[in-house]
Amino acid sequence: MLKVGDTAPDFEAPSVGGKYLRLRDYRGRRHVVLYFFPRDFTPGCTKEACSFRDHRAEVARLDGEIIGVSLDPVERHEEFAKKYRLTFPLVSDADGHIAKKYGVARLGGWLPTKRVTFVIDKDGTIQEVIHSEFGIDVHIDRALETLRRLQGEQKS
């Protein structure tokens, strides 16, 4: 798994709304809260997505963007986003290449990726890695702490 200080690997993948999302498009513009989750519509993943949704305005205020990634197809992401009113990008990593780049792929099993959040600064450097399978709220809490710290660094 990637660690703090590593450069976040770039990727390009299909996203909701018929768009292709490229991580490099955020460089120099926004911090990124990139969260990997196992599957759409599972209880833990739904709670996590709704937690990110509920804090999106604060993330934006801190000059960040939330991006969710799972192996689900775009069509399933579209259904998930509609049902839970998710307004941030959900990326389909159908072949698992993004999860492999970030070191969060599992070897088989029903849950194909680990639940991990990376906070990436505007320069593309990983500033925080949050890995908790069951402590769902820790992901948004620590992501917000990191974004606040980054904003403080920029103001000094």
The 3-state secondary structure of the chain reads: CCCCCCECCCCEEEEHHHEEEEHHHHCCCCEEEEEECCCCCCHHHHHHHHHHHHCHHHHHHCCEEEEEEECCCHHHHHHHHHHHCCCCCEEECCCCHHHHHHCCECCCCCCCECCEEEEECCCCEEEEEEECCCCHHHHHHHHHHHHHHHHHHHHC
45 is catalytic: yes
Active-site entry in 8, 34, 45, 81 = 45
Closest CA to 67 of 97, 44, 41, 35: 35
Point out the residues that are catalytic: 45
